[in-house]
Amino acid sequence: MTSSATTLPRPAEPNESFDSTDLIRVTGGTPLTGEVTVRGAKNLVPKAMVAALLGSGPSLLRNVPQISDVRIVTGLLEAHGVQVRAGEQPGDLVLDPSSVDRADHAEIAAHAGESRIPILLCGPLLHRIGHAFIPDLGGCRIGDRPIDFHLDALRAFGAVVDKRPEGLHIEAPHRLRGTKITLPYPSVGSTEQVLLTAVLAEGVTELRNAATEPEIQDLIAVLQKMGAIISTLDNRVIHITGVDRLEGYRHLALPDRLEAASWACAALATGGDILVRGALQGPMMTFLNVFRRVGGAFEVEDEPGQTGIRFWHPGGPLSALALETDVHPGFQTDWQQPMVVALTQAQGLSIVHETVYEKRLGFTKALTDMGAQIQLYRECLGGTPCRFGQRNFMHSAVISGPTKLHATDLEIPDLRAGFSYLIAALAAQGTSSVHGISLINRGYEDFGRKLADLGAQVEFPA
Ligand SMILES: CC(=O)N[C@H]1[C@@H](OP(=O)(O)OP(=O)(O)OC[C@H]2O[C@@H](n3ccc(=O)[nH]c3=O)[C@H](O)[C@@H]2O)O[C@H](CO)[C@@H](O)[C@@H]1O
Ligand SMILES: C=C(OP(=O)(O)O)C(=O)O
């Protein structure tokens, strides 16, 4: 089985549908070697697109990847009258909210279940048109993922939330007012909800126990460019002083540290050597420490205009370790799944304690079918008790390695598991069929071509 340019799907433009092929065949055994480029972060770009709704003029977002979450948010914004078009340079997206005055409920409903971003439209829409219709959310099924913090925050600003069978209807009878909010947990989405709502609310908002992920810091940078006044203080406290008007922005999106780490894990698991152009050291420090402890080697490239990180397997055995996922600056939960695949090749017993999502280790069942030795536990094995300890969730794993993996048929359950299955298939003997690859398009731009360029034996059957 060989890779062939003619069998690879072309990435979609922001406004068009993706290739419907949903299967990839992967023949393992070849170390991945070469270069890939990561563009704007999946967990920043859609939120920066939503922020454009707050501006009184057009915004220009640069470094936008062609992933399906961008297409979904484009559709949602267009359903409210935002004009979205490609800009002059590759990766430029121009978002013009000047004629936003409506919410096309049928068009919005068509995006039900596709991503988690719709809930973040609430604040901007309430400021702009006084009401928001939010269909059922999608996103990865890695836990219950309630939105209680979001709704409590919106109510604290003065919004009225009505839950109906078709979705949420949210109204702002009066201008939203700044408020004091303490999040029960430093949730990324809820922090963004508060930011996107507080910037145009009347008065000051104080947010406590905020999340501080690099993508949030980049969203704050976007909002500041628009005219917002936001101070990030110590101890997860953010102060936002509401202003009356925001302008459009020009912004170069932060590169995707989650995709970069996935390629790093692919290099480790296949014994390869990958230069990830665009990857930045700062937002990846915690990952880099773990990568080094496992036995991976890396080199940061930061010449003017040429950033990137080269990741490689230096030879010899990899080392098992104990790892806990956590909110930033901890080990990001989205790094966990690809790292678990790499740990199946490490010598000894590794322990992984997933503290952010209660069901994010479910994907390991398929890895055990491929020959990995992974045992799941309900207990918090990492030393730090987490929210899931007493609640019967299999959220700790013990991985015994190294194990030879063999090819199998795989069905992708979620985005990161999907890429992790590709890594496992690349590290395995034989040819695996991986089904449901459209899920990977949510966060990995043009991954088929990137794999082929790295020497992977991949085929997309017609
Ligand atoms: C599009 C996007 O940016 N997705 C990221 C975002 O998801 P997302 O913003 O959905 O994740 P959160 O940080 O909000 O969720 C963290 C935890 O808080 C809980 N929670 C959250 C909100 C709420 O109202 N109630 C509640 O209980 C969740 O169930 C979860 O256990 O941050 C996660 C944590 O870094 C990442 O894994 C996702 O890739
Ligand atoms: C969990 C993820 O994404 P989302 O929040 O969009 O489901 C992810 O990117 O791994």
pLDDT in tens, 279-331: 999 999 999 999 999 999 999 999 888 999 999 999 999 999 999 999 999 99
pTM over 0.90: yes
392-418 tens-digit pLDDT: 999 999 999 999 999 999 999 999 999
Q: Which residues are annotated as a binding site for UDP-N-acetyl-alpha-D-glucosamine?
A: 116, 334, 356
Q: What is the DSSP letter of 24?
A: E
**Domain interval for residue 442:** 5-38+255-459
Per-residue pLDDT band at 101 (split at 50, 70, 90): confident
Tell me, using a 6 A CB cutoff, whether residue 97 lines ligand 2.
no
Task: Give the residue numbers marked as catalytic.
Answer: 140
Radius of gyration of the chain (CA): 22
In this prediction, residue 315 carries a pLDDT of: 96
Distances (CA, A) of 419 to 34, 260, 422: 18, 12, 5
CATH number at residue 266: 3.65.10.10
Q: What is the mean pLDDT of residues 235-249?
A: 98
Residue 9 has pLDDT above 70, yes or no: no
Does one domain contain both 34 and 54? Answer: no
Q: What is the mean pLDDT of residues 231-242?
A: 98
Tokens of 109: 């409903």
Atom of ligand 2 nearest to the CA of 139: 7
Nearest CA to ligand 2 atom 5: 139
37-65 tens-digit pLDDT: 999 999 999 999 999 999 999 999 999 99
In this prediction, residue 382 carries a pLDDT of: 79
Residue type, 337: Q
Atom of ligand 2 nearest to the CA of 43: 9
Does one domain contain both 120 and 144? Answer: yes
Does one domain contain both 223 and 298? Answer: no
Nearest CA to ligand 1 atom 14: 187
In this prediction, residue 21 carries a pLDDT of: 63
Domain boundary among 226, 252, 278: 252
| Complex ipTM | 0.99
The candidate with the shortest Cα–Cα distance to 263, out of 242, 277, 250, 249, is 277
Domain boundary among 195, 221, 252: 252
Report how many domains make up the chain.
2
Q: What's the rounded Cα separation, in Å, for the pair 446 and 63?
A: 14
Asked whether the beta carbons of 330 and 388 are under 8 A apart, the reply is: no
3-state helix, strand, coil in the chain (%, to 5): 30, 25, 40
Tell me, using a 6 A CB cutoff, whether residue 416 lines ligand 2.
yes
